[in-house]
Amino acid sequence: MMMNAENVLFQSFEIIGRDFSRAGSVSTKVKEILQEIGIDSTVIRRAAIAAYEAEMNVVMYANRGELALTITPKKIHFKVEDKGPGIEDIEMAMQEGYSTATEEMREMGFGAGMGLPNIKKNADKFEISSIPGSGTKLDITLHLNQAEKK
Ligand SMILES: Nc1ncnc2c1ncn2[C@@H]1O[C@H](COP(=O)(O)OP(=O)(O)OP(=O)(O)O)[C@@H](O)[C@H]1O
Ligand SMILES: [Mg+2]
């Protein structure tokens, strides 16, 4: 983990597609870092959910990806970028209950179609962009100054 002079922490993590044995390890590590530096537990809970859902989508749908965590005194930011099939219709993917999860994934308990809606719900700011045939990128921000909003 790196910290610069402005008290900004940065760490990036690799996520391997279809590796269910390691699935969840990145968001677990993120949660540990947030706990170590004493972030408010409510914010940790929301951040951990967002990181987990983003990580699982890379595991389930992409070939590989990266989660880049930045923590400043004001915010937590995740950039989750993957190489994979991308998302043809983002509006549809954002709808609660929409899922293209396979039977195998559903048997493991995934595929409720709630991951992306939950990321949006738990973030203060959420942006998603995708290039079909290339990959998907998420920008997820949570504010640390509760007075600012949410
Ligand atoms: N990184 C991604 N690359 C390609 N497609 C994606 C990606 N993330 C999401 N999708 C598509 O968007 C759909 C909705 O994603 P969402 O996370 O909301 O639900 P889910 O992963 O299907 O189920 P759940 O998250 O509840 O286990 C997915 O089924 C998939 O078709
Ligand atoms: Mg999902």
Calculate how far, in angstroms, residue 113's C-alpha sits from the geometric centre of ligand 2. 6
User: What pTM, to 2 d.p., does this model score?
Assistant: 0.96
CB of 52 within 6 A of ligand 1: the answer is no
Q: Which residue has the higher pLDDT, 3 or 19?
A: 19
**Would you state the pLDDT for residue 147?**
57
**Would you state the pLDDT for residue 6?**
82
**Would you state the pLDDT for residue 45?**
98
Backbone angles phi, psi at 55, to 5 degrees: -60, -45
* Contacts with 76 (C-beta within 8 Å, 6 or more apart), sequence order: 34, 39, 43, 47, 69, 70, 141, 142, 144
**Would you state the pLDDT for residue 5?**
76
CB of 50 within 6 A of ligand 1: the answer is no
CB of 111 within 6 A of ligand 1: the answer is yes
Calculate how far, in angstroms, residue 4's C-alpha sits from the geometric centre of ligand 2. 33
Strands (DSSP E) contained in 34-122 are: 64-71, 75-83
**Would you state the pLDDT for residue 2?**
77
Say if residue 146's pLDDT is above 70.
no
Task: Look up residue 21 and give its two tokens.
Answer: 């044995």
Task: Look up residue 57 and give its two tokens.
Answer: 């989508």
Ligand 1 binding pocket mutation candidate from 18, 55, 61 (most atoms within 8 A of CB): 61
Model confidence over 91-133: pLDDT tens digits? 999 999 999 999 999 999 999 999 999 999 999 999 999 999 9
Give CA separation, 49 vs 2, 28, 53, 118, in Å. 23, 10, 6, 8
Please state, in angstroms and rounded to a whole number, the distance separating the CA atoms of residues 123 and 77: 10
CB of 54 within 6 A of ligand 1: the answer is no
Model confidence over 7-45: pLDDT tens digits? 899 999 999 999 999 999 999 999 999 999 999 999 999
CB 63, CB 82: distance < 8 Å: yes
CATH classification code of 8-148: 3.30.565.10
HSE on the CB side for 120, CA within 13 Å? 13
- pLDDT, average across residues 48-63: 98
Say if residue 4's pLDDT is above 90.
no
Residue 110 CA, closest ligand 1 atom number: 27
**Would you state the pLDDT for residue 19?**
94
**Would you state the pLDDT for residue 74?**
96
